[in-house]
């Protein structure tokens, strides 16, 4: 079904059963993405066009202005958001309600997935099956089953993939990484991640009919059917364990991404995960409000903790550095605008701290001002998260937050929530990406997905 034209609402509805048919790929049909030369323009399609998706489109702006990329298509289940696509990105952009029409476009080289978390796994796997290079917003996925499927699909397709934990690509992240890699504080034994609590829904909002512009069935996609409620979306989906997972899956996917990268642990997983916390006492949202998680790593031995605590406690224990005019005059240095989360790295010979870990990663002054001595180790300095992805598309190099790394971080968040729900520690086999010794927990590594929106 080669469809290179714009799909309007009435045309989509007229397509009937054909529109709801899943992509079915037979043997040998898998597209093989070709590497793009330095001067070739990459055609990009956007799956989802909500607030974060529009932000990602803007982040592509410098590449578009340089003639390296072109926006060619947008899809969204909300017609108001869909109509915004051509207004923002240009009249050349075609619009679709169903992502499968966009994936069927053979002239689209790459896709940016900015949909809610529960769609990431399915969108990613289906995009990989059509040979598209993929930038997918974090967290990579909602289940261990999805993490395995995404990595396998990317490897089979030979695509360049980038998960949107862009904290690794920030200017001060490079300085923090270099500082730790050179052992300035000695061997790190404990990474202490902190964050403020997940919110509680106190609105008592009743279920209702969805807005006329929203395709509620398509928004739910792989999730079980449930009545529409305004407290399910848009951004608040992240406070439900089913579709989001709370602060640990939102910001944890940023802060712990930095930790895994800087600790050279992208291929190292914990042997045990233990989580405790408090559940909300009212409302639709069910993610942990306060939370304490301990990850134990071996060979090398270190621990990482994640603590959701009241903001007053964070302000006392982890006060944000006050940045002077002289600080802000330094190259790549900005004001700390998100002081409520970050991590402290406790080493044998001292400690160092960063705040943020996503669109802003801020290292403390002593880290920024450290001067590497002769023979110091250098680390990779990302040209920018989107730019690093494009380098992967053009050269075949592994991206800084390749799906293998992004899924590994997502697994940490998933395991913490499972431990919290079950009320007991979990044993983890990183070599197999499997929970061991707990059959009930193993059953929760996957969940049913509605037809036809499934892996």
pLDDT digit string (tens) for 321-336? 999 999 999 988 999 9
| Average pLDDT of span 341-356 | 98
pLDDT given at position 372: 97
Tokens of 16: 């009937």
pLDDT digit string (tens) for 90-141? 999 999 999 999 999 999 999 999 999 999 999 999 999 999 999 999 999 9
Maximum distance among all Cα pairs of the chain, rounded to whole angstroms: 69
Order of all β-strands in the sheet with 188-195: 361-363, 350-356, 342-347, 188-195, 302-308, 291-297, 272-277, 426-429, 434-436
Domains of the chain in sequence order: 9-165 (3.40.50.720), 168-381+404-443 (3.30.360.10)
DSSP string, 248-294: HHHTHHHHHHHHHHHTT-TT---SEEEEEE---SSSS--S-SSEEEE
DSSP string, 395-433: H-PPPTT-HHHHHHHHHHHHHHHHHHHHTS-EEEETTTT
- 276 forms beta bridges with 292
pLDDT digit string (tens) for 335-348? 999 999 999 999 99
pLDDT at 39 over 70: no
pLDDT given at position 30: 47
- Does the pTM surpass 0.75? The reply is yes
pLDDT digit string (tens) for 390-441? 999 999 999 999 999 999 999 999 999 999 999 999 999 999 999 999 999 9
- Say which range, 29-38, 171-180, 297-306, has the weakest mean pLDDT: 29-38
Mean per-residue pLDDT over the chain, rounded? 92
| Average pLDDT of span 440-454 | 96
| Average pLDDT of span 372-377 | 97
Contacts of 5 (CB under 8 A, 6+ apart): 94
**What is the Cα–Cα distance from 262 to 273, expressed in whole angstroms?**
20
pLDDT given at position 359: 86
Residue 238: strand, helix, or coil: helix
Percent of the chain with pLDDT over 70: 91
pLDDT at 29 over 70: no
**What is the Cα–Cα distance from 256 to 249, expressed in whole angstroms?**
10
pLDDT digit string (tens) for 240-288? 999 999 999 999 999 999 999 999 999 999 999 999 999 999 999 999 9
Tokens 């639709």, located at residue: 284
Order of all β-strands in the sheet with 42-47: 94-96, 69-75, 42-47, 110-113, 133-136, 161-163
Tokens 């500082």, located at residue: 179
130 by Cβ neighbours in 10 Å (0-12 / 13-18 / 19+) ranks as buried
Q: How confident is the model at residue 22 (pLDDT cuts 50, 70, 90)?
A: very low
- Say which range, 16-25, 65-74, 227-236, 378-387, has the weakest mean pLDDT: 16-25
pLDDT given at position 332: 87
pLDDT given at position 455: 93
pLDDT digit string (tens) for 136-188? 999 999 999 999 999 999 999 999 999 999 999 999 999 999 999 999 999 99
């Amino acid at each position: 079904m080669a469809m290179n034209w714009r799909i309007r609402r009435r045309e989509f509805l007229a397509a009937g059963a054909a529109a709801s048919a899943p992509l079915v790929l037979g043997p040998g049909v898998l597209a093989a993405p070709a590497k793009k030369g330095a001067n070739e323009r990459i055609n990009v399609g956007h799956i989802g066009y909500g607030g974060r998706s529009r932000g990602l489109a803007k982040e592509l702006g410098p590449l578009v202005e340089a003639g390296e990329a072109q926006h060619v298509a947008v899809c969204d289940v909300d017609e108001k958001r869909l109509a915004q696509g051509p207004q923002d990105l240009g009249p050349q952009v075609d619009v679709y309600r169903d992502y499968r029409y966009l994936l069927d476009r053979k002239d689209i080289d790459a896709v940016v997935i900015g949909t809610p978390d529960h769609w990431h796994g399915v969108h990613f796997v289906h995009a990989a099956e059509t040979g598209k290079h993929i930038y997918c917003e974090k967290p990579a996925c909602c289940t261990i089953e999805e993490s395995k499927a995404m990595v396998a699909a990317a490897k089979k397709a030979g695509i360049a993939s980038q998960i949107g934990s862009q904290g690794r690509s920030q200017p001060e992240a490079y300085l923090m990484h270099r500082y730790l890699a050179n052992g300035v504080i000695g061997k790190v034994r404990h990474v202490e991640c902190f964050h403020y609590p997940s919110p509680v829904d106190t609105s008592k909002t009743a279920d209702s009919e969805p807005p006329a512009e929203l395709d509620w069935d398509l928004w739910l996609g792989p999730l079980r059917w449930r009545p529409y409620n305004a407290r399910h979306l848009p951004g608040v989906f992240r406070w439900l364990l089913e579709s989001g997972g709370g602060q640990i899956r939102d910001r944890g996917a940023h802060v712990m991404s930095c930790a895994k990268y800087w600790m050279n642990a992208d291929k190292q997983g914990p042997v045990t995960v233990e989580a405790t916390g408090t559940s909300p006492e009212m409302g639709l949202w069910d993610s942990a409000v306060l939370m304490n998680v301990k990850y134990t790593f071996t060979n090398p031995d270190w621990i990482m903790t994640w603590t959701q605590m009241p903001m007053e406690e964070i302000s006392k224990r982890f006060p944000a550095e006050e940045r002077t005019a002289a600080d802000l005059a330094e190259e790549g240095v900005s004001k700390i605008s998100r002081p409520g989360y970050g991590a402290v790295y406790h080493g044998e010979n001292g400690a160092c701290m960063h705040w943020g870990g996503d669109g802003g990663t801020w290292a403390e002054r002593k880290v920024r001002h450290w001067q590497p001595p002769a023979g110091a180790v250098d680390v990779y300095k990302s040209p920018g998260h989107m730019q690093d992805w494009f380098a992967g598309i053009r050269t075949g190099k592994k991206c800084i937050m390749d799906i293998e790394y992004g899924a590994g971080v997502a697994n940490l968040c998933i395991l913490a929530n499972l431990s919290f729900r079950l009320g007991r520690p979990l044993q983890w086999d990183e070599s197999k990406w499997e929970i061991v010794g707990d059959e009930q927990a193993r059953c929760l590594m996957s969940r049913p997905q509605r037809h036809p929106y499934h892996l």
